[in-house]
Structure 1
């Protein structure tokens, strides 16, 4: 009767917005229309779970508005960077589409708050749902076809592969064009030198003109044997995957930063290590993955602050007065197989292979020896030709010739290309020598920290043991789910009286706050509810006090 009365109280003007013609669904929407959000923060009836459910539950025959059907909703996933989104999706797949924020942060190395926002965005756009355990932990669950749903809703995801292919093709075109310019420069300079020398001969004008014409014909001859030496420009890759034109670019500009993904790899490895040891670690264990080059830096443990900020960690003091670092978010997992006291078998392989973070040294060029000889030889030939051409162009009479006039116009560009061909690599050598020295120093420091963990002294051994004793795993998937956005709230009203009785005694404040926010968010907000770590017990106690609910 109460439910019928509640349905009757629904204004007729809202009925067309609340319901559609689709068949009933058991899934509560993550992002329904904002018009459903008709509550007051100060309404006292919201503090009673049963009353809240009675007044806000949809009818058993009322279909549920899915997040993907919200006409006014833009894709939340499009607000994420491509790198973060792809790493989040890979982590979700790796964990079997059931994850906690700690699972994702630990496997990707992304900041905890950033991972939480990303999971909420993906869940909102893929019809995922959230389970809240009886201890207030949140589990994100995604459907099997969640990637297809994301692609259907996000224009960016659909066209991103095409954009990446276009960027790759443009990058390769630039490399090829720079290498081909070397051959073009050699041909232009050689032709100009021949024309100038022919025009200065002692023969008569007709003979000179004939020779000049024959010279031009020589360089424009279409005989297949004339330009046999230009076959190197054809896109035939060498053993390193480069053709000649790309080898020229590699010689001049190099092949990019070999540690481009170093930071991503570093934080991913740190997150995996912390999760594998139960969420409690020491500063000495993380030193092999950080940049701790001096003894003073190691003693004050200030280098651990970036890790605490990224993974929501906090310092703890053991019984012996040693400082340990606990990461509660990384202790919550969806599956018992992803955590354990000490190293698990899967993580043991990762940690054993990466006992410390090793930076890669910069190489001058990835070209082969044969390619280097050709690139340097043709570069010297081009510079010599440009130098000779410059001396010949000082004769003003020569510049009057049509072809030579054109070459004189572009001669400054030929000079810039010829000079930069060897000047840029020269400065690159100086830069590489300096940066490789710094990399060697950091690698040696990290290796020394790793060796110290293999043979720890008695004090460090006790500290490590205390960290393992304090570590604990919190498997959300094995706990009782007290609220889920997958089901209509009408089906979750069965235990309302029992929960009212518990909550009226002031117990489980965190769980109560999480469930209340989950329901309100799932009924009327434009994004998936933000639970768990954002609940402050003090604020909930104040809320209980304002509502007249106190502890017995």
Structure 2
């Protein structure tokens, strides 16, 4: 079984020496899943197990474990190769919609120019016909200008260059789309902005638990979950997935309050300070497009040009002129409805998508407001909730497994470890003899 990429990233972020609780907190994974994943990764990447006298286990990984795994697994190499190929294929798919739009407009106006030139030649003399033919060609190029590849320039929209340079100060620079990419974004958007929502949810929940040293009340977790309204007594059913994922245990107070204890998340490979965590899980609103407004205006304008040009062409094709002229005009006539339909769909799809996004964002905002209200209620905790949280703190603890606590590690031979720990073993025996009175 190939190592889990999420676990690999968590190990790197945590400095290559981790416990199961560390990884489960960092990646928001189920405890059992994290433990199995760490065992698999340690086996495949040459990691080491460090066992404390308490029986807790720390995993130590070499910093080049990705290189070790990459060289070991051909499947991973093939996957990386396919991801690169798919990246190219998907890019070609993205730019194809803009390319088709430009080709559609080009075919429409070239056909219009040919038909107008032919009509003028039937009514004027040869010289006049030549003059009008030249004027028709100029009219065609008036629409597009001589700098055709201006559309393919990623930095053509100069009004947004300042925004592009300002974004370089952010942790990850956001590249300005070129026009063909912007067309795809105009049509279909840029994907789900909350694709990582579950990962963020479990990371935040685990961090809250870890910040409270492994013991919490349900109300402290509620701002990160979807809680359906219930009638009657307020049960903590929504905590069941959290207990299952992080091996939590319910604890009942003398007055009947239930709090939750997570022993696995109390163990860490090194002492860690409280980590920042948002007050509640906030979904990001869906955006119509990440493209600049100038690019969107240009895309919609070209869609309108395609429709208007197709309608003009349709009126000129009446009377069987396509059969007389043949060639390109006959070809355009054969795909006329495709050209017109593409133009209509090009503007209809974004319009429908715009109203659908408004509907989705209203639901996103409603869910955010519910979680926000849970966070406000927690911040303004009443005396009963304060007592509940205080009772949970009785189970709070943090167990740091340092190198001095190790009883065994696979990094060195067992005999060498016994020799190194002989003084520690002798001291332990003396303590036990003294306690027994011998």
TM-score by length of 2: 0.82
Decide whether aligned partners of structure 1 residues 284 and 399 sit closer, same or farther in structure 2, where only a CA change above 3 A counts. farther
What is residue 263 of structure 1 aligned with on the other side?
A: 198
1:203 and 2:126 aligned? no
Where in structure 2 are the equivalents of 1:66-105 lying within 5 Å?
76=1, 79-80=2-3, 84-85=4-5, 87-105=6-24
The count of residues paired between Structure 1 and Structure 2 equals 403
- Specify which of 283, 290, 312 is matched with residue 366 of structure 1: 290
Q: Which runs of 5+ in 2 are unaligned?
A: 165-175, 426-438
SS in 1 for 2:251: strand
CA contact (8 A) 1:393 1:399 kept: no
Separation (CA, whole Å) in 2 of partners of 1:399 and 1:252: 35
- Give me the CA root mean square deviation: 3.1
1:388 and 2:388 aligned? no
1:129-162: CA deviation from partner (whole Å, max 9, x where unpaired)? 2122233221111234333322322334456555
What is residue 357 of structure 1 aligned with on the other side?
A: 281
What is residue 115 of structure 1 aligned with on the other side?
A: 34
CA contact (8 A) 2:116 2:136 kept: no
SS in 2 for 1:259: coil
Decide whether aligned partners of structure 1 residues 407 and 308 sit closer, same or farther in structure 2, where only a CA change above 3 A counts. same
Where in structure 2 are the equivalents of 1:486-501 lying within 5 Å?
486-489=411-414
CA contact (8 A) 1:198 1:211 kept: no
1:232 and 2:167 aligned? no
SS in 2 for 1:324: strand
1:186 and 2:121 aligned? no
CA contact (8 A) 1:192 1:407 kept: yes
Looking at secondary structure, tell me which structure has more helix per residue. 2
Separation (CA, whole Å) in 2 of partners of 1:402 and 1:208: 24
SS in 1 for 2:335: helix
CA contact (8 A) 1:279 1:327 kept: yes
What is residue 506 of structure 1 aligned with on the other side?
A: none
Separation (CA, whole Å) in 2 of partners of 1:479 and 1:489: 16
What is residue 315 of structure 1 aligned with on the other side?
A: 250
- Specify which of 327, 332, 349 is matched with residue 424 of structure 1: 349
1:379 and 2:303 aligned? yes
What is residue 464 of structure 1 aligned with on the other side?
A: 389
1:177 and 2:96 aligned? yes
Give the CA deviation at 1:380. 1.0
Q: Which runs of 5+ in 1 are unaligned?
A: 1-75, 339-343, 500-552
What is residue 234 of structure 2 aligned with on the other side?
A: 299
TM-score by length of 1: 0.66
SS in 2 for 1:299: coil
CA contact (8 A) 2:251 2:259 kept: yes
SS in 2 for 1:391: helix
CA contact (8 A) 1:195 1:212 kept: no
Separation (CA, whole Å) in 2 of partners of 1:230 and 1:168: 23
CA contact (8 A) 2:95 2:180 kept: yes
Q: Which moved more, 1:199-208 or 1:139-148?
A: 199-208
Separation (CA, whole Å) in 1 of partners of 2:224 and 2:416: 49
